[in-house]
């Protein structure tokens, strides 16, 4: 049993899709754009790696 019965503190989510953006400043919106663009780049890299892996496997099993 825990020493204290406090609820665990949840970390704030940097961005939620569909969230009301009216309360955010221009700087906060700019920061979120940068965060999302970095995530898009990471996703594109993952797609490239998976495509290359799939092509290599396909080439191996066709021969």
pLDDT at 56: 87
Q: Which residues of the chain have pLDDT under 50?
A: none
Virtual CA dihedral for 52, 55, 60, 62, nearest 10 degrees?
180
Domain regions of the chain by residue span: 24-63
> Tokens 């965060």 appear where?
35
* Radius of gyration for the alpha carbons in the chain, expressed in angstroms and rounded: 21
pLDDT at 2: 58
pLDDT at 63: 61
* Single pTM value for the model: 0.65
């Amino acid at each position: 049993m825990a020493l204290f019965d406090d609820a665990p503190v949840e970390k704030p989510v940097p961005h939620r899709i569909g969230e009301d953006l009216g309360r955010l400043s221009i700087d906060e919106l700019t920061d979120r754009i940068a965060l999302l663009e970095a995530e898009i780049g990471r996703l594109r890299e993952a797609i490239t790696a998976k495509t290359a892996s799939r092509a290599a496997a396909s080439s191996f099993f066709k021969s």
